[in-house]
Amino acid sequence: MRSRICLVTGASSGIGAETALGLSRAGARVGIVGRNHERVRAAADRIHAETGGKVDVFVADLSAQAEIRRLAAEVLALYPRLDVLVNNAGAIFDTRSLTADGLERTWALDHLAYMQLSLALLERLKASAPARIVNLSSAAHTRGRIALDDLNSERSFGGMKAYSQAKLGNLLFTYALSRRLEGSGVTVNAVHPGVVASGFTKNLNGALGLFWSLIRPFLISTERGARTSLHVATAPGLDRVSGRYFARSRETASSQRSRDCALQEQVWAASLEQLGLAEVV
C-alpha cells in the first residue's frame, strides 16, 4: 500500500480507527474523518505514533449533506489521487429524529452518506484506478426491508428496524454502483465486520441499550472487526473483484432481497432524489 492514499470515515474510534491503523501499517497515507476535531486529532496522533505514517484529519458530520459536500471538496483539494475509500461511519439510534436536510438520521448517516461521498469522489477514484470503495454493511441487512414510501420512517420507527433498512441499503447501493463502474478500474464491495464491541451503540437507551450492554462482553474486538475491511481494501487478488459481499474476509452470499436488481435500481433512484443529484455515473 506504499504510495497509496486512503480515506476512512468514522475513524476517530472503533472499527474505523483500527482500519485506518491497519492501512497506515501497510504503508498508505491515510485520511480519517470524524465529527469531533479533538477525537479525530487524537486518533491521528495515535496512528502516527505507532506507524510513523502520514495521517490527515477531516472533520464532518456525515448526516448533513452540506458537510459531505465540504468534506469532498477538502479531500479533492488535498489529494491528487485517491486509491481507497472506506465508508465506515454509522450509528444506531433508539429514537427517531431528522437531520438538517429533513431526513431520518439513520438512513441519512448509514446509507445516504455512503452514496453521496462515493459519488462526490468518484472521478478522482477513477483517475487513480485501480481503486476501491469498501462499504460497511452488516448481517443485520438480512432483516432489512426497504419502505420506499416511508424512507423517513414517519409511519413506523424502530432503532433496529431503521438500522437494518440502512444496512440493506448499503448492499443495494454497492451492487447498483458496481454495475455502473464496470470497466472503470474502480471496484466496490460491501463487508460485514462481525458483531463488534465498538461505540456505534452508544446512542441507545431503554431495552435496546440494555440488550447491547448485556451482550457486549461476548462481542469481538474492534481489531478483529476491522480485518475484513482491511482484506477487501488491500488484498492483491481483489483488484478486479467487484459487487461482492464479504464476511470473515471471505466472499459470502447476501440476502435474496439485496440481490433484487429491480429493488437496487428503485433505491438508487430514490436515494439520488433525496440527495438532490442527477444520475452521475
> Given this model, what pLDDT does residue 17 score?
95
> Given this model, what pLDDT does residue 154 score?
95
User: Per-residue pLDDT averaged across 231-239, rounded?
Assistant: 96
Percent of the chain with pLDDT over 70: 90
| Total domains in the fold of the chain | 1
Q: Provide the residue range defining the domain that includes 188.
A: 5-275
Q: Do the beta carbons of residue 17 and residue 51 sit within 8 Å?
A: no
Percent of the chain with pLDDT over 90: 85
Please tell me which residue in 79, 163, 175, 245 is annotated as part of the active site: 163
Q: What is the CATH number of the domain that holds 28?
A: 3.40.50.720
- pLDDT tens column, 26-37: 999 999 999 999
User: Per-residue pLDDT averaged across 115-120, rounded?
Assistant: 98
- pLDDT tens column, 175-232: 999 999 999 999 999 999 855 554 555 554 555 555 445 544 545 567 778 899 999 9
Q: Name which residue leads in pLDDT, 74 or 201.
A: 74
And the C-alpha cell for 272? Answer: 439520488
- pLDDT tens column, 129-160: 999 999 999 999 999 999 999 999 999 999 99
User: Per-residue pLDDT averaged across 122-135, rounded?
Assistant: 98
Q: Is residue 110 part of a domain?
A: yes
> Given this model, what pLDDT does residue 209 score?
53
11-15, 57-61, 72-76, 207-211, range with the lowest pLDDT: 207-211
Strand ranges in the chain using DSSP code E only, listed in sequence order: 5-9, 29-34, 55-59, 84-87, 131-136, 186-192, 245-247, 250-252
Q: Do the beta carbons of residue 61 and residue 67 sit within 8 Å?
A: yes
Amino acid at residue number 158: G
User: Which helix or strand (DSSP H or E) is residue 2 part of?
Assistant: none
CA distance 142 to 115: 20
> Given this model, what pLDDT does residue 280 score?
72
Q: In 96-158, which ranges are continuous DSSP H helix?
A: 105-107, 113-120, 122-127
> Given this model, what pLDDT does residue 216 score?
46
Q: Do the beta carbons of residue 247 and residue 37 sit within 8 Å?
A: no
Using the CB atoms, write b or e for 22-34: b if 16+ within 10 Å: bbbbbebbbbbbb
Question: pLDDT averaged over the chain?
Answer: 91
- pLDDT tens column, 238-272: 999 999 999 999 999 999 999 999 999 999 999 99
Measured at the alpha carbon of residue 157, what is the angle toward residues 16 and 222, in degrees to the nearest 5?
15
> Given this model, what pLDDT does residue 222 score?
73
114 is catalytic: no
> Given this model, what pLDDT does residue 213 score?
55
CA distance 239 to 249: 15
Q: Is residue 281 part of a domain?
A: no
